[in-house]
Amino acid sequence: MSLLDVRGLRVSYDNADAVKDLSFTLQAGETLALVGESGCGKSTTALALMGLLPDNARLAGQVLFEGRDLLSMAPRQMRQLQGNALGMIFQDPLSSLNPVLTLGEQVAENLLAHTDLTRRQAWKRAEELFALVQLPRPAAHLHEYPQHLSGGQRQRVVIAMAIACQPRLLIADEPTTALDVSVQAQILELLARLRGELGMGLLLITHDLGVVGQHADRVIVMHDGHALESQPTRALIEHPQHPYSRGLLQASLGAEHDQHYLSNRLAEINVERQPGQATRYSVNSSHYGPGRKPRAPAGNPALLKVSDLTTGYGDNTVLNRISLEVGERESVGLVGESGCGKSTLSRTLLRLLPARSGSIEFAGRDIASLKGEALLSWRRQVQMIFQDPYAALNPRHSVETILDRVQRLHGQNDPGQRQQARLAMLDAVGLARSSLARLPHQFSGGQRQRIGIARALILKPRLVICDEPVSALDVSTQAQILNLLVELREELGLSYLFISHDLSVVRYFADRILVMEQGQIVEQATPQTLWHSPRHPYTRRLLAAIPGAAVPPPALQPVSGLRFAVGW
């Protein structure tokens, strides 16, 4: 008997189906991955298994856990399983933890609810769990609050809570999204070790195919609530049967996908829905069209020059004598883990944080001396694209208002010219002109990032600082945004400083890569040199932690009867 047997699961809200006739099994000790883009039904499936869907959700089918149907259980019976036989790790560890309770209280609370342990025993067990998930100071962390820990440490606490009662089924919903690559590797290795030690089944929900390639035994690819394909991991990666699966593999940037924007575009998946007809999937060619191939920026003069820059907060020095250059029409990647100083550098470059020493020159002029109209003119030439497109946009303002406020702030007084510029910018970033009247919540994550790009470019800047612009996006959406940024650089003559913790993304996008550790640039090189001949131990450690080293590019074989165009 399977540990978990899902039969014909359907979840709907107000006549809209979120999960459509989903069936799969999971054995004890096995890792099954659910893969797909946002909105495909992965997380809804997880919440359905845990009995955590809202009251307006309607369910059909069967979810058999050790032979018992979870969907037909009374709420009291389900609560006995939640956090006990069934454990779940949520995507955002900070929102999963109570900020006013200590970490020890939160773990002990679950143990007291589901076991016969005394309070003293529960606290002792919590300390043992913190040691099991490899927190550095288990006893001390019991008395700390979530906001005192790093993102990776918070995720370890969430894992400790999920496994506290030794669940037989653990559901991990995007457990490493937005974590540094080295922290991600540690968390995934921890889950694999715990699965082996506890003998539990692991349902891993992710959009990262590199993670799947290293850690899953089987994979189910989902789209629009349907399971499109189910195979053993190696079989799916080497011989995907469905066009959508092939598109995801081609759009992904893994350790062995040796791609660069000068050689090829990233593949983009097209989904066509016609009323009364089957959904059709195709993949855009990754070849550049005639006259569309980008030009290398070799030999261009420096637009931005930073020399011996030192800054920090209070008595804490974050950046220590940083020096770097960004040339005209050049894309420079800056990589490093959280806390290394990447965001502090971007704030200092934008004059949002004062420098203690050193200089920042833009087009040969020291920006520290700029005031008044000269400062405003410089700000028009340096803009920023933020990591979280939803948090970066005012939810009460339409797209038109968001763009118009920027234009008016920088002295564009002619309403007709402002409107023409807005329409032209929407065309440039691939949004319909009707988008001007809509609010941010009415767009997908990728569309919201396009709005953020439009806002950054509406003033026609020369330098754009991109702060983790694709880290929160799905694989195919990430490919679309990276392709767009490359195209806009060619069309508008932009320079980019591209900040990321993802070396695979930076390798594709950058002409040069700078590696930052603890406030210092420890290595810089071209992507090819850095990837194949890294010199600094920290760089080698970052490269070794990238998931997907065992994931080769997929075999590109046409699928009979399906429209599917590719070109590598």
Over the stretch 213-237, which tens digit does the pLDDT of each residue have? 889 999 999 999 999 999 999 999 9
Average pLDDT of the residues of the chain: 89
The pLDDT value given to residue 50? 95
**Other C-beta atoms within 10 Å of 517: how many?**
19
* pTM, to two decimals: 0.83
Over the stretch 305-321, which tens digit does the pLDDT of each residue have? 999 999 998 888 999 99
The pLDDT value given to residue 553? 43
Over the stretch 507-559, which tens digit does the pLDDT of each residue have? 999 999 999 999 999 999 999 999 999 999 999 999 988 875 434 444 433 33
Q: Is residue 343 scored above 50 in pLDDT?
A: yes
Q: Is residue 153 scored above 70 in pLDDT?
A: yes
Instruction: Please enumerate in sequence order all residues whose Cβ is within 8 A of that of 371, keeping only pairs 6 or more positions apart, or say none.
Output: none
Order across the sheet with 169-173: list the strands. Answer: 86-89, 169-173, 201-206, 31-35, 218-223, 226-232
Out of 122-131, 143-152, 353-362, 458-467, which region has the weakest mean confidence (pLDDT)?
Answer: 143-152
The pLDDT value given to residue 255? 58
Nearest Cα to 225, choosing from 57, 15, 16, 17?
17
The pLDDT value given to residue 446? 85
Average pLDDT over residues 274-300: 75
Average pLDDT over residues 347-373: 94
Out of 181-190, 199-208, 398-407, which region has the weakest mean confidence (pLDDT)?
Answer: 181-190
What is the Rg, in whole angstroms, of the alpha carbon atoms belonging to the chain?
A: 25
Average pLDDT over residues 103-126: 95
Average pLDDT over residues 412-438: 94
Point out which residues pair with 322 in neighbouring strands. 309
- C-beta of residue 10 within 8 angstroms of C-beta of residue 59: yes
Residue at 93: amino acid letter: P
**E-strand stretches of 195-315:** 201-206, 218-223, 226-232, 269-272, 280-283, 302-313
Q: Is residue 268 scored above 90 in pLDDT?
A: no
Average pLDDT over residues 243-266: 83
Cβ burial, residue 134 (10 Å; 0-12/13-18/19+): middle
Top-confidence residue, 485 or 258: 485
* 564 — pLDDT class (breaks 50, 70, 90): very low
* 453 — pLDDT class (breaks 50, 70, 90): very high
Q: Write b or e for each residue in 281-298: b if 16 or more Cβ atoms lie within 10 A of its Cβ, otherwise e.
A: bbbbebebeeeeebeebe
Q: Rounded to whole angstroms, how far apart are CA atoms 483 and 505? A: 12
* 388 — pLDDT class (breaks 50, 70, 90): confident
Average pLDDT over residues 188-211: 89
Exposure on the CB side of residue 97, measured as CA atoms within 13 A: 30
Top-confidence residue, 501 or 290: 501
Q: Return the ∠ at Cα 225 (arms to 221 and 231), rounded to 5°.
A: 20
The first and second tokens of residue 534, run together, are 């890294």
Q: Is residue 57 scored above 80 in pLDDT?
A: yes
Backbone torsions φ then ψ of 311, nearest 5 degrees: -160, 175
Q: Is residue 290 scored above 70 in pLDDT?
A: no
